[in-house]
Amino acid sequence: MKTWTDRLPQIPFRYDALPPDGPWMTQEEAAAYLGVGPYHLNSLIGNTHRIEIVRTTTDRKFACTRASVEAEKEWRDTAKVRRKALRLIGDWFKQF
C-alpha cells in the first residue's frame, strides 16, 4: 500500500551537540563561503541534496558539513560553463 510519503525525498538528520570549530559551519557561513544567498543555499540543501546538513541538539538549528560545502565550492570553481548549464537544467526539472 502506497502512502503520501513514498515519493518524498528522505533527508537524514543527525542530532548532535556541535562543539565550535568542528567539521561544520552555520548556514550563514556556508552561504557566505559559496557566495550565494540564503534562499539559494536552502535550495541546494533541500532540492538537490548537494550540501549535507546536521542538526544541533542545543538550539535545534541546522549546520552544514564543511566537506560538502568545500566540495560544492571546488565544483563551482572548476566546472565548465556547459556542465553548469546542464546542472541548472537538471536541477530545474527535479523540482517538478
| Residue found under cell 548532535 | 16
CATH number of 15-94: 1.10.1660
- How sure is the predictor about 34, in pLDDT bands with cuts at 50, 70 and 90? very high
Q: Is 50 helix (H, G, I), strand (E, B) or coil?
A: coil
For the chain, which residues make up each domain, given as ranges? 15-94
**pLDDT value, residue 1:** 44
Q: Tell me the per-residue pLDDT of 57-90, one tens digit each, with 9 for 90 and over.
A: 666 677 888 888 998 999 899 999 999 999 888 8
| CA–CA distance, 65 with 58 (Å, rounded to integer) | 17
> Mean of the pLDDT values across residues 2-9?
53
Instruction: For the chain, give the percent of residues with pLDDT over 70.
Output: 71
Confidence (pTM): 0.70
